[in-house]
Structure 1
Amino acid sequence: MIKRIHVLEDDEDIRYIIGVLLKDEGYELQLSSTFTELKEKLKDSVPDLFILDVMLPDGDGAEICKDLKSDLFTKHIPIIVMSANDQNKELSITAGADDYISKPFDIDYIVKRIKKLLEK
Structure 2
Amino acid sequence: MKNKTILIFDDDPHVMEIFSIVLEDLGYTINRSTTSHDVLEKVGRYQPDLILMDNWIPEIGGVAATQLLKGHAGFRSIPVILVSANSEVEELAKKAAADGYLSKPFDLDRLEELVNDIFRQ
Considering the TM-score relative to the shorter chain, is it more than 0.5? yes
- In 1, the alpha carbon distance for the partners of 2:72 and 2:20 equals 26
| Counterpart residue number, 1:61 | 62
Helix, strand or coil at the partner of 2:87: coil
Q: How many residues align?
A: 120
TM-score normalised to structure 2 length? 0.92
% same residue: 32
Q: Which runs of 4+ in 1 moved over 2 A?
A: 36-45
For residues 19-38 of structure 1, give each alpha carbon's deviation from its aligned partner in whole angstroms, at most 9, with x where no partner exists. 01100000001111001354
Q: Is the counterpart of residue 30 in structure 1 residue 23 in structure 2?
A: no
Q: Is the 8 A contact 1:93 1:100 kept in 2?
A: no
| Counterpart residue number, 1:106 | 107
Alpha-carbon deviation of 1:41? Answer: 2.8
TM-score normalised to structure 1 length? 0.92
Q: Is the counterpart of residue 91 in structure 1 residue 92 in structure 2?
A: yes
Alpha-carbon deviation of 1:53? Answer: 0.3
Helix, strand or coil at the partner of 1:85: coil
- In 2, the alpha carbon distance for the partners of 1:43 and 1:100 equals 22
Structure 2 gap segments, 5+ residues each: none
Structure 1 gap segments, 5+ residues each: none
Q: CA RMSD in A?
A: 1.4
Alpha-carbon deviation of 1:59? Answer: 1.6
